[in-house]
Chain A
Amino acid sequence: MIRRSMVLWTILASLFAVAMFLIKHEVQVREARLDALHRDILASQEAIQVLRAEWSYLNQPVRIESLIRRHMDLRPTDTTQLGGYDALPVRLSDASDQTEVAQ
Chain B
Amino acid sequence: MSGFEHNQLPPRQVDDAGMPTVRIEGATKQAIEVGRNRLLVAGAFFAIAFTLVAVRLVDVAVLSGLNEPSVAREAASSPLKKGRADIVDRNGVLLATSLSVPSLYADPKDVIDAEVSARRLTSVLTHLDPVEVAAKLRAEKRFVWIQRGLTPRQQYEINALGIPGLHFQREERRVYPQGSLASHVVGFAGTDATGLGGIEKQFDATLRDGAEPLALSMDIRVQHILREEVGRQMVAFNGIGGAGVVLNANTGEVVAMVSLPDFDPNAAGVASDDSRFNRASLGVYEMGSTFKIFNTALALEAGTATMTSGYDATKPIRIARFTINDYHAKRRWLSVPEIFQYSSNIGSVKMALDYGAEAQRDFMDKLGFLKPVAVELPERGAPMAPKPWRKISTMTIAFGHGIAVSPLHLVSGVATVVNGGIQWPVTLVKRDPEVRALGRQVLSRKTSVEMRKLLRLVVETGTGRKASADGYLVGGKTGTAEKPGKGGSYARKSLLSSFVSAFPMHDPRYVVLVMIDEPKGNKESHGYATGGWVAAPAVKRIIARSAPLLGIHPFDEESPEIRQVLDIQSPPEKGRKRLASF
- Whether, in the assembled complex, B93 has its beta carbon less than 8 Å from a beta carbon of chain A, the answer is yes
- Whether, in the assembled complex, B303 has its beta carbon less than 8 Å from a beta carbon of chain A, the answer is no
- Whether, in the assembled complex, A22 has its beta carbon less than 8 Å from a beta carbon of chain B, the answer is no
Chain A residue numbers with a CB within 8 Å of B470 are 79-80
Contact status of A61 and B152, CB under 8 A, knowing A56-B94, A76-B544, A77-B548: no
Chain B residue numbers with a CB within 8 Å of A46 are 99-100
Q: Which of A34, A53, A55, A59 contacts B75 (CB 8 A)?
A: A34
* Chain A residues bordering chain B, tally (CB within 8 A): 25
Contact status of A57 and B177, CB under 8 A, knowing A52-B94, A79-B544: yes
Chain A residue numbers with a CB within 8 Å of B6 are none
B93-122 contact mask (Cβ, 8 Å, vs A): 1 or 0 = 111011110000000000000000000000
Contact status of A56 and B82, CB under 8 A, knowing A38-B75, A76-B544, A79-B554: no
- Whether, in the assembled complex, B221 has its beta carbon less than 8 Å from a beta carbon of chain A, the answer is yes
Contact status of A60 and B181, CB under 8 A, knowing A41-B79, A49-B99, A53-B175: yes
Q: Which of B97, B177, B553 contacts A60 (CB 8 A)?
A: B177
Whether the Cβ atoms of B545 and A61 lie closer than 8 Å is no
- Whether, in the assembled complex, B469 has its beta carbon less than 8 Å from a beta carbon of chain A, the answer is yes
Whether the Cβ atoms of B78 and A52 lie closer than 8 Å is no
Return B57 CB to nearest CB of chain A, in Å. Answer: 13
Chain B residue numbers with a CB within 8 Å of A50 are 99, 152
Chain A residue numbers with a CB within 8 Å of B297 are none
- Whether, in the assembled complex, A54 has its beta carbon less than 8 Å from a beta carbon of chain B, the answer is yes
Most interface-central of B80, B221, B554 (chain A CB within 10 A): B554
Q: Which of A42, A49, A62 contacts B79 (CB 8 A)?
A: A42
Return B429 CB to nearest CB of chain A, in Å. Answer: 19
How far, in angstroms, from A10 to B401 measured CA to CA in the complex?
100
8 A Cβ contacts from B57-100 to A: 75, 78-80, 82, 93-95, 97-100
- Whether, in the assembled complex, A1 has its beta carbon less than 8 Å from a beta carbon of chain B, the answer is no
Q: Which of A53, A61, A79 contacts B220 (CB 8 A)?
A: A61
Return A12 CB to nearest CB of chain B, in Å. Answer: 16
Whether the Cβ atoms of A61 and B221 lie closer than 8 Å is yes
Return B311 CB to nearest CB of chain A, in Å. Answer: 38
Identify the closest chain A residue to B97 (Cβ): A53
Q: Which of A53, A65, A80 contacts B99 (CB 8 A)?
A: A53
How far, in angstroms, from A50 to B170 measured CA to CA in the complex?
14
- Whether, in the assembled complex, A82 has its beta carbon less than 8 Å from a beta carbon of chain B, the answer is yes
Return B341 CB to nearest CB of chain A, in Å. Answer: 25
Identify the closest chain A residue to B152 (Cβ): A50
How far, in angstroms, from A76 to B469 measured CA to CA in the complex?
13
Q: Which of A38, A54, A61, A79 contacts B471 (CB 8 A)?
A: A79
How far, in angstroms, from A77 to B228 measured CA to CA in the complex?
17
Chain B residue numbers with a CB within 8 Å of A38 are 75, 78-79
Identify the closest chain A residue to B472 (Cβ): A79
How far, in angstroms, from A61 to B224 measured CA to CA in the complex?
6
- Whether, in the assembled complex, B178 has its beta carbon less than 8 Å from a beta carbon of chain A, the answer is yes
How far, in angstroms, from A55 to B224 measured CA to CA in the complex?
17
- Whether, in the assembled complex, A14 has its beta carbon less than 8 Å from a beta carbon of chain B, the answer is no
Q: Which of A34, A52, A76, A84 contacts B97 (CB 8 A)?
A: A52
Identify the closest chain B residue to A47 (Cβ): B152
8 A Cβ contacts from B526-582 to A: 544-545, 548, 553-554
Return A40 CB to nearest CB of chain B, in Å. Answer: 9
How far, in angstroms, from A38 to B79 measured CA to CA in the complex?
6
How far, in angstroms, from A34 to B72 measured CA to CA in the complex?
10
A19-41 contact mask (Cβ, 8 Å, vs B): 1 or 0 = 00000000000000010001001
Identify the closest chain B residue to A46 (Cβ): B100
How far, in angstroms, from A77 to B543 measured CA to CA in the complex?
12
- Whether, in the assembled complex, B316 has its beta carbon less than 8 Å from a beta carbon of chain A, the answer is no
How far, in angstroms, from A52 to B99 measured CA to CA in the complex?
10
Chain B residue numbers with a CB within 8 Å of A65 are 224
How far, in angstroms, from A50 to B152 measured CA to CA in the complex?
9
How far, in angstroms, from A59 to B78 measured CA to CA in the complex?
31
How far, in angstroms, from A80 to B470 measured CA to CA in the complex?
9
Q: Which of A55, A57, A76 contacts B545 (CB 8 A)?
A: A76
Whether the Cβ atoms of A45 and B177 lie closer than 8 Å is no
Return A21 CB to nearest CB of chain B, in Å. Answer: 18
Chain B residue numbers with a CB within 8 Å of A45 are 79-80, 82
Chain B residue numbers with a CB within 8 Å of A60 are 177-179, 181
Residue contacts A-B, CB under 8 angstroms, 28 given: A34-B75, A38-B78, A42-B79, A45-B79, A45-B80, A46-B99, A49-B99, A49-B100, A52-B94, A52-B97, A53-B94, A53-B99, A55-B177, A56-B94, A56-B177, A56-B178, A57-B179, A59-B93, A60-B181, A61-B224, A62-B181, A62-B228, A79-B469, A79-B472, A79-B554, A82-B471, A82-B554, A84-B553
Binding site for B on A (CB under 8 A): 34, 38, 41-42, 45-46, 49-50, 52-57, 59-62, 65, 76-77, 79-80, 82, 84
Q: With A52-B94, A60-B181, A62-B224 given, can you name 11 additional A-B contacts, CB distance below 8 Å?
A: A53-B177, A54-B177, A55-B94, A56-B94, A56-B95, A56-B178, A65-B224, A76-B545, A82-B471, A82-B553, A82-B554
